[in-house]
Structure 1
Amino acid sequence: MAVVIFIIVLWYGGLFFQSFFLHRYAAHQVFTMSKTMEKITFILTWIFQGSSYLSAYGYGIMHRMHHAYTDTEKDPHSPSYDANMFAMMWKTKTIYQDINEQRIAIDERFTKNVPQWKSFDAFAGSRFSRILWITFYILFFVFFVTSWWQWLLLPIAFLMAPIHGVIINWFGHIYGYVNFKMKNTSKNLFHFDFLMMGEGYHNNHHKHASSPNFGVKWHEIDITYLIIRILDFFGFIKLKAIKVKK
């Protein structure tokens, strides 16, 4: 049971910081935070993403490119131009690394105000850091596994962030329903997004990319947005203008 709880904590903890910090803050800047709070969030993102840590800079730029070039050849991740999800994931990894290591020229509109902590990213995204987390995960499983099938959960711990990414960027462009007809394949994966904390309302998000709330209909409860509202209420962050959808 401890292993299952551990995976659930990693799943939702890593997912929250990917959605809250990397996506809604770094890429879309739907709220502001102090530099101190920003650094704290960098560290929390590293703790919860662990071996699959993603930098806010690389993620933020790549996601802006995704919105600008959705379902075209310039899209960093599109099922329309990749043979399978693994090919898409490899392409995404390559572009992400090229951005972080400044191997490709990036349009200024994609880099404007994207948060970056170079020294921390150099450590958190290093091979040493990833191996350290992997070692910790393995040791945790060694001490707490109570049944053979729980070992099957270990790769999920290693690859949590890529798994989150492929659910949205692959399946969220193939399966689901649409509230808005658009010139792309974005879809809402769930009527109530219990699995991806609001990220599954992908069609809604592509229609209203600058909105902090990805839900539109009454049943589309965006759990990450609710947490954002609480953080805003207590002054940890400052929400920008909130769009009310009907």
Structure 2
Amino acid sequence: MVGVTVAGEIRGRYQWGAVIPFVLIHIGVLAAFFAPPTPTLLAWLAGSYFLRMFGVTAGYHRYFSHRSYRLGRTAQFLMAVLAQTSGQKGVLWWAAHHRQHHRYADREQDVHSPWQRGFWWSHIGWILANDYDSYDPKKVADWAKFPELLWLDRHHWVPAAGYGALILALGGFPAFIWGFIISTVLLYHCTFAINSVAHLAGSRRFDTPDHSRNNWLLAILTLGEGWHNNHHFSMGSCRQGYRWWEIDVTYMVIKALSLVGIATDLRPFRTPAAAIERAS
């Protein structure tokens, strides 16, 4: 059965320096009552959401956590900046905890398993708790050698704050509400749903030693991350959607970047196509 324990049973307490901004940005969504949606504002919302979701999926996840493709140093830094405009802490912090998740997926040491500590913890609780405020630098020693990434990780709020200020300057208060506040909240919960919902609801193509699921709705909302069982079967692959109908927009963009020489050494799925068909 899915665990029903909550964060209070874990060692630490919530880190209020993270909880307060998290709560405030959710309250900020109410400002939409003073800036009703228009086609322009919805364009701000969609454009900002999908741009930054690409930073989460291609940056935090497939690049910094799994090294599933390569970037030059400048492109690497820009990808880190884009990822951190989402407000999900530093790239080293994100990668370190995600690597631990894969090492212990849905076991006791998993940082955000709904099967171990309940839905609330896996979706929101862990990211706001003192338990995981820091990370083991040994888990990201490959990235810690880059001083610019260390600086970004220590000042993880800078890209998000700068991005919000840019939207405010370009589009005014209504664009800030829709293009930053609301889109950030949507980014949070769609990203977090991979940790929670994608380990509870969906189909399982591969018999992995965890509870990962493929969820088509989450795949749409997260540019391909919802093919989560595929990912847990071949976590080092740059591609997560393998059948023609498993749309993986993140992979499509990375593939396009490879065609112009920005991304290189895209790592393929770890088994032949025939093996995928047999497992389907």
Give the counterpart letter for 1:12 in structure 2: F
Instruction: Provide closer, same or farther for how the CA distance between residues 132 and 242 of structure 1 changes in structure 2, counting only shifts above 3 A.
Output: closer
> Which position in structure 1 is the counterpart of 2:103?
68
Alpha carbons 1:187, 1:202 under 8 Å: kept:
yes
Instruction: Provide closer, same or farther for how the CA distance between residues 153 and 73 of structure 1 changes in structure 2, counting only shifts above 3 A.
Output: farther
Alpha carbons 2:68, 2:236 under 8 Å: kept:
yes
Alpha carbons 2:55, 2:83 under 8 Å: kept:
yes
Instruction: Provide closer, same or farther for how the CA distance between residues 191 and 134 of structure 1 changes in structure 2, counting only shifts above 3 A.
Output: closer
* Of 135-144 and 179-188, the range deviating more from structure 2: 135-144
After superposition, what is the alpha-carbon deviation per residue over 1:211-240, rounded to whole angstroms, capped at 9, x for unaligned? 111112221121111111111111001124
Over the matched positions of the two proteins, sequence identity in percent amounts to: 21
C-alpha separation in 2, matches of 1:132 and 1:241: 33
Equivalent residue runs for 1:195-210 within 5 Å: 195-210=221-236
Q: Verify: 1:98 aligned to 2:134, yes or no.
A: yes
After superposition, what is the alpha-carbon deviation per residue over 1:134-155, rounded to whole angstroms, capped at 9, x for unaligned? 677778574459xxxxx79975
Instruction: Provide closer, same or farther for how the CA distance between residues 64 and 135 of structure 1 changes in structure 2, counting only shifts above 3 A.
Output: same
Which structure 2 segments of 5+ residues have no match?
Answer: 1-38
> Which position in structure 2 is the counterpart of 1:148?
none
C-alpha separation in 2, matches of 1:131 and 1:227: 26
> Which position in structure 2 is the counterpart of 1:181?
207
Q: Verify: 1:119 aligned to 2:151, yes or no.
A: yes
C-alpha separation in 1, matches of 2:175 and 2:73: 38
TM superposition shift of 1:159? 3.0
> Which position in structure 2 is the counterpart of 1:21?
59
Q: 1:223 aligns with which of 237, 249, 252?
A: 249
> Which position in structure 2 is the counterpart of 1:55?
90
After superposition, what is the alpha-carbon deviation per residue over 1:65-120, rounded to whole angstroms, capped at 9, x for unaligned? 01001111211111112233356422134355212xxxxx46x3x32413651223
* Secondary structure of the structure 1 residue equivalent to 2:116: coil
Alpha carbons 1:85, 1:166 under 8 Å: kept:
no
TM-score with structure 1 setting the length: 0.80
TM superposition shift of 1:192? 9.0
Runs of 4+ in structure 1 displaced over 4 angstroms? Answer: 129-141, 151-155
> Which position in structure 1 is the counterpart of 2:6?
none
> Which position in structure 2 is the counterpart of 1:3?
41
Report how many residues are paired: 229
Instruction: Provide closer, same or farther for how the CA distance between residues 27 and 39 of structure 1 changes in structure 2, counting only shifts above 3 A.
Output: same
Instruction: Provide closer, same or farther for how the CA distance between residues 89 and 141 of structure 1 changes in structure 2, counting only shifts above 3 A.
Output: farther
Q: Verify: 1:193 aligned to 2:219, yes or no.
A: yes
* Secondary structure of the structure 2 residue equivalent to 1:81: helix
Alpha carbons 2:45, 2:178 under 8 Å: kept:
no
> Which position in structure 2 is the counterpart of 1:233?
259
C-alpha separation in 1, matches of 2:245 and 2:63: 24
After superposition, what is the alpha-carbon deviation per residue over 1:21-80, rounded to whole angstroms, capped at 9, x for unaligned? 111111110111111111222233344x2xx14321111111110100111121111111
C-alpha separation in 2, matches of 1:43 and 1:131: 11
Root mean square deviation of aligned Cα: 2.9
TM superposition shift of 1:185? 0.8
C-alpha separation in 2, matches of 1:44 and 1:186: 27
